[in-house]
């Protein structure tokens, strides 16, 4: 009926009318975003309340109250004092520290080994380069779990029992219960040596700054490296001797079934650390190789033209530029190593997954809370590592002048 009048109405009404809000892209986008946020919130609220409801309905204890009840089981390797009477919260910390221990040691060793192999891979020496290549191709391509099991199953049965230990003098012992090292025990006055070491570290830092400023101003170089080494060893050493060598060693000794005293490294830690280091180093080696090769050849030639010797050219020109390629990938490898450390459960290494998400979960029966806490821990560790590496990456980034 109204169709007759409609066309003229459109022609006359050409002034921009305010469109309804569902036709306004900006408002529509805002609306959808609000709907999405509300939707997500409702979804998670539903999951949360439904989980609680179902757990209660099934008569399963909920909440984090279990953390304060006594755990009652033993743990092979504890970095903090722990007894069976301690709480589940303590087992959480013990497990977490064991995870961090293997992760930190692994990252440290894998970085050193990886850089060495990566540089060896680029060596002009045919043999060295091929050995590095073989290493990379073998260890990068075998699943990590198998490598862990291999080192564990290969090493432990080969080692002698405690009474037939391989001994290095009367101080270091190796058997199928682990590696036993003497433990340094500081006596009163040892604190001065530690203070001297801290002073030496500060001194090195200042020396480096001074040497750099002097070189910028005068062009004269200063042997920073050897001076630093001298400072770091000499100053604490001198103080140590002056205060009368206040340090004794607690030696491991065979008592009953096994060695007591000293520092012991259990074979599970050894095998896990070995496997993680060797596996991750193979990847790091490839990353280092690709990083160095990504620096344009002209850079090497330009450095040579400026009169830098190959070592100095590598140190001052190639590596800083290669680092920009290396660091982001290195971060991924560090994250992998940390998360892979949870495979230690296969050989009974008492890490967070074995102790807390394993035994503690089973003894308390509170799977939801414990798995949640464990996942959260790995998330936090990973975020911290990538935060640190991003900060380092920014410092190493190319500064355009």
- Contact residues: another protein, CB under 8 A: 47, 50-51, 53-55, 57-61, 72-76, 83-85, 153, 156-157, 159, 161, 176-177, 255-258, 260, 266-268, 342-343, 345-348, 350, 353-354, 357-359, 361-363, 365, 367-368, 370-372
Least Å distance, CB 60 to another protein, is 4
Listed residue (80, 74, 118) closest to 97, CA to CA: 80
Given the complex with another protein, which of 58 and 297 has the nearer CB atom? 58
22 class by beta-carbon count within 10 Å (0-12 exposed, 13-18 middle, 19+ buried) = exposed
Least Å distance, CB 185 to another protein, is 20
- Map tokens 């204890």 to a residue: 61
Structure tokens at 271: 């095998």
- Map tokens 């340090």 to a residue: 247
Given the complex with another protein, which of 122 and 156 has the nearer CB atom? 156
258 three-state secondary structure: strand
Given the complex with another protein, which of 62 and 123 has the nearer CB atom? 62
Least Å distance, CB 257 to another protein, is 5
The C-alpha atoms of residue 108 and residue 106 are separated, in whole angstroms, by 5
308 class by beta-carbon count within 10 Å (0-12 exposed, 13-18 middle, 19+ buried) = middle
Least Å distance, CB 329 to another protein, is 26
Given the complex with another protein, which of 268 and 286 has the nearer CB atom? 268
Through-space distance between the first and last CA atoms of the chain, rounded to whole angstroms: 74
Given the complex with another protein, which of 204 and 377 has the nearer CB atom? 377
Given the complex with another protein, which of 239 and 343 has the nearer CB atom? 343
Contact between 99 and 341 (Cβ < 8 Å): yes
Least Å distance, CB 272 to another protein, is 13
Listed residue (325, 341, 327, 331) closest to 385, CA to CA: 331
Least Å distance, CB 269 to another protein, is 12
360 class by beta-carbon count within 10 Å (0-12 exposed, 13-18 middle, 19+ buried) = buried
């Amino acid at each position: 009926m109204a169709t007759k009048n409609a066309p003229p109405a459109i022609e006359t009404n050409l002034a921009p009318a305010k469109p309804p809000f569902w036709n306004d892209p900006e408002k529509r986008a805002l609306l959808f975003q609000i709907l999405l946020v509300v939707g997500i919130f409702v979804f998670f609220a539903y999951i949360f309340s439904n989980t609680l409801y179902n757990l209660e309905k099934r008569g399963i204890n909920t909440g984090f109250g279990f953390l304060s009840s006594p755990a009652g089981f033993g743990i092979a390797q504890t970095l903090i004092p722990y007894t069976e009477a301690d709480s589940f919260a303590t087992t959480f910390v013990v497990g977490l520290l064991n995870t961090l221990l293997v992760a930190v040691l692994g990252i440290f060793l894998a970085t050193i080994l990886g850089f060495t192999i990566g540089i060896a891979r680029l060596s002009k020496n045919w043999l060295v380069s091929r050995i590095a290549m073989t290493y990379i191709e073998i260890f990068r391509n075998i699943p990590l779990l198998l490598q862990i099991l291999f080192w564990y199953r290969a090493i432990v049965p080969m080692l002698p029992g405690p009474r037939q230990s391989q001994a290095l003098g009367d101080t270091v012992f190796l058997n199928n219960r682990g590696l036993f090292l003497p433990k340094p025990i500081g006596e009163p006055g040892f604190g001065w040596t530690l203070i001297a070491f801290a002073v030496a570290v500060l001194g090195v830092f200042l020396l480096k700054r001074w040497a750099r400023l002097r070189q910028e101003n005068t062009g004269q170089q200063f042997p920073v490296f050897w001076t630093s080494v001298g400072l770091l060893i000499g100053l604490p050493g001198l103080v140590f001797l002056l205060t009368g060598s206040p340090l004794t060693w607690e030696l491991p000794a065979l008592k009953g079934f096994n060695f007591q005293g000293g520092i012991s490294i259990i074979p599970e830690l050894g095998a896990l650390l070995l496997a993680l280091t060797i596996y991750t180093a193979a990847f790091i080696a490839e990353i280092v190789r690709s990083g160095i090769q990504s620096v344009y050849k002209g850079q090497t030639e330009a450095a040579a033209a400026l009169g830098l010797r190959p070592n100095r050219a590598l140190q001052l020109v190639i590596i800083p530029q290669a680092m920009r390629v290396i660091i982001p990938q290195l971060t991924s490898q560090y994250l992998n190593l940390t998360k892979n450390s949870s495979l230690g459960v296969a050989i009974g290494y008492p890490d967070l997954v074995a102790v807390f998400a394993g035994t503690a979960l089973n003894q308390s029966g509170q799977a939801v809370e414990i798995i949640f806490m464990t996942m959260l821990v790995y998330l936090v560790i990973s975020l911290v590592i990538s935060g640190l590496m991003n900060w380092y990456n920014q410092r190493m980034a190319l500064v355009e002048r």
